[in-house]
Chain A
Amino acid sequence: MKRIRTEPQLHQDGRQPSIIHRIWNTPSLLVGSLMFVVLIVLAVFIPYISPYHPSEQNLSAFLQPPSAEHWLGTDQLGRDLFTRLIYAARTDLSIMVLAEVVPFCTGVFLGMLAGYYGKWVDTVITLLTDTFIAFPFYLIVIIVAFASGAGERGIYITFMLVGWIVFARVVRGLSASFREQEWVASAQTLGLPGVRIILRHLLPNVLPQAVVVLMTDMVGLLVAIVTLGYLGIGIAPPTPDWGTMISDGQSFITTAWWLSAVPGFAVVYTGIALSLVGDGLADIWRKK
Chain B
Amino acid sequence: MNTSYSWLVTALLRALAVILFVVTAVFFIIRIVPGDPAKMILGEYSTPEAIKSMHHTLGLDLPLWEQFVRFVKTLFTQGDTGNSIIAGTSTRELIAERAPVTLLLIVMACMMAIIIALLLATLAATHKDKLLDHLIRIFPTITLGMPIFWVGMLLILLFSVRLHWFPVGGVSEGWIGTLYSLTLPAITVAFSQIPTLVRSLRAQMLEILESDFVVTLRAAGLPSRVILFKHVLRNSALPTLMLLGVNISYLIGGTLVVEQVFGIKGIGSLLFTAISNRDFPVIQGIALYCAISVVIISLLIEMISWWLDPRTKGKQ
Listed in ascending order, the chain A residues whose CB lies under 8 Å from chain B are 127-128, 130-131, 133-144, 146-149, 216, 219-220, 222-223, 226-227, 230-231, 233, 243, 246, 250, 253-254, 257, 260-261, 264, 267-272, 274-276, 279
Contacts and interface: CB of A to CB of B under 8 A. Distances in A.
A136 B294 CA distance: 8
Report whether over half of chain A's contact residues are helix, strand or loop; otherwise say mixed.
helix
Interface in B153-178: 153-154, 156-157, 161
Contact of B149 (A137, A139, A227, A253): A227
Report whether over half of chain B's contact residues are helix, strand or loop; otherwise say mixed.
helix
B154 A272 contact: no
Interface stretch (B22-30, B109-117, B180-188): B22-30
B148 A227 contact: yes
B260 A272 contact: no
A131 B21 contact: yes
Contacts of A250: 153
Interface in B249-266: 249-254, 256-257, 260
Given A143-B287, A230-B147, A268-B145, A131 B18 contact: yes
Nearest to B21: A131
Interface centre among B154, B253, B272, B295 (most CB of A within 10 A): B253
A128 B18 CA distance: 8
Interface in B25-48: 25, 29-30, 33-35
Nearest to B17: A127
A248 to B, nearest CB: 12
B33 A276 contact: no
B157 A253 contact: yes
Nearest to B272: A231
25 contacts: A128-B21, A130-B21, A135-B25, A135-B249, A135-B287, A136-B249, A138-B254, A139-B253, A143-B275, A146-B275, A149-B35, A219-B144, A219-B145, A227-B149, A230-B147, A246-B147, A246-B149, A254-B161, A261-B157, A267-B145, A267-B147, A270-B145, A271-B142, A272-B142, A274-B145
B146 interface: yes
Nearest to B142: A272
B30 A147 contact: yes
A133 B157 CA distance: 34
Contact of B18 (A127, A138, A275): A127
A118 B250 CA distance: 28
A131 B27 CA distance: 14
Contacts of A223: 145-148
B290 A136 contact: yes
A230 B149 contact: yes
B89 interface: no
A271 B145 contact: yes
Contacts of B68: none
B102 to A, nearest CB: 12
Top-7 shortest CB links A-B? A271-B145, A138-B253, A136-B253, A264-B150, A131-B21, A147-B33, A136-B252
B286 interface: yes
Contacts of A142: 256, 271, 275
A260 B29 CA distance: 34
B14 interface: yes
Contacts of B251: 136
